[in-house]
Structure 1
């Protein structure tokens, strides 16, 4: 359990790194968008060739397809509720958060990170270890998220200390969710663990397509497609070495 929590914290800690960069480093929006696209490509590849492959080997098509669709629908409904509550612009870098609801922004940001933490914990449960390519993908994808959102929150008038405390809390909650996921699912059958892995994969894919990639394309333009493909190829190559 503690090992799962440690890996969850490792993946979530890059949110704090991104927040520090967003608050204090003069990084252009285009560079942030390219990093975001690169991280999204790495994450898509890791979901496909690590999470889904492992889940399919253990639980078969039924568990995987059910879990994937449930994860996608669950994230879609949760994201819709968060958007309507005032958290729609939680990842924007231009200060649109000023018109949003602070609680909804925090909840939405936490919701974005839960599937990744869940995947880390369940992967450890299912295979006895965490795929380092997937962990690297989570770490990389969290940096531009924390960077972009922190820059926007600062422009919206939020104090840097408050922003850093928010990301620190979310990183700690990511660790707790990974540890508790391992604790409560220990001893579960292969169909259950593979279904939850697929659930996390569906939520991650829905999150990428509805939040990260649209934001990246808006800020970075046509180069985003190339950066996403490069990230996908890098993760695919590393996972097969």
Structure 2
């Protein structure tokens, strides 16, 4: 099997976890409290992945300047995109804890989907690059991607479904993001063969910046609306899980 094909399949597998979460939320009636707990756990996983798998690796290989530039860039792009969504009516914060509007619910799902795209594409590129030089795919990174993507798909689709989005829209969005991840991994493997460590560091750090912006702006506030005092505990459990996976990998 050609290496770029293998990279694409690994990227598709990581993105497929988003679709898995979407399927669970679509076909099962998942209580909102459960969604909130899962979202908090996913936020912890994403935070740990950003810190230990992405930022740390980018700084060690490409230097502090390239890492800082990519990290800030990823956060800025996500926040600006989210601002544009809000101005078009897709506000993701709830106006009422007990009676969120359809616009609020749909906006939350859309914001998480945007974050999944902005961090998922660079993450997939990282997976593709990890195969260069004859090495295997980064197992810890792949595990972190899968662990975090299931809650993202679950929490986003729960909001979209509650707001009346159809199956075509929901699975079209997540299917497209999964395919984009596969293509990004394949292209990353082909185009970044021999690329400078600084360029790879920027791409890696962009993913980390988008992740943390999404966690702070969307996932934690939405989780706290329902989980309340359990949010911190669930987030800590997710962080610890990802940290253990990274160290054992």
- TM-score of the pair, normalised by structure 2: 0.82
Count of aligned positions:
238
1:12 aligns with 15
Within a 5 Å distance, the mapping from 1:89-108 to structure 2 comes to 89=92, 96-97=101-102
State which drifts further: 160-169 or 183-192: 160-169
2:228 aligns with 221
CA RMSD, Structure 1 to Structure 2 (Å)? 2.9
Alpha-carbon distance change, 2 to 85 in structure 1, aligned in 2, over 3 angstroms: farther
Within a 5 Å distance, the mapping from 1:90-239 to structure 2 comes to 96-97=101-102, 109-125=113-129, 128=132, 129-239=136-246
| Residue in structure 2 matching 1:56, options 39, 44, 59 | 59
How big is the shift at 1:179? 2.4
State which drifts further: 158-167 or 106-115: 106-115
- TM-score of the pair, normalised by structure 1: 0.85
How big is the shift at 1:151? 2.9
Contact 2:7 2:128 (C-alpha < 8 Å) held by counterparts: yes
Distance 2:42 2:153 in 1: 13
Distance 1:234 1:216 in 2: 18
Within a 5 Å distance, the mapping from 1:9-48 to structure 2 comes to 9-48=12-51
| Residue in structure 2 matching 1:84, options 80, 83, 87 | 87
Contact 1:5 1:121 (C-alpha < 8 Å) held by counterparts: no
How big is the shift at 1:210? 0.9
Alpha-carbon distance change, 127 to 14 in structure 1, aligned in 2, over 3 angstroms: closer
Distance 1:59 1:149 in 2: 33
Distance 2:24 2:17 in 1: 10
Q: Deviations over 1:183-202 (max 9, x none)?
A: 33332111111122112211
Q: Give secondary structure in 2 for the equivalent of 1:186.
A: coil
Alpha-carbon distance change, 81 to 169 in structure 1, aligned in 2, over 3 angstroms: same
Alpha-carbon distance change, 151 to 50 in structure 1, aligned in 2, over 3 angstroms: closer
Q: Which runs of 5+ in 1 are unaligned?
A: none
How big is the shift at 1:123? 4.5
How big is the shift at 1:90? 10
Q: Give secondary structure in 1 for the equivalent of 2:164.
A: coil
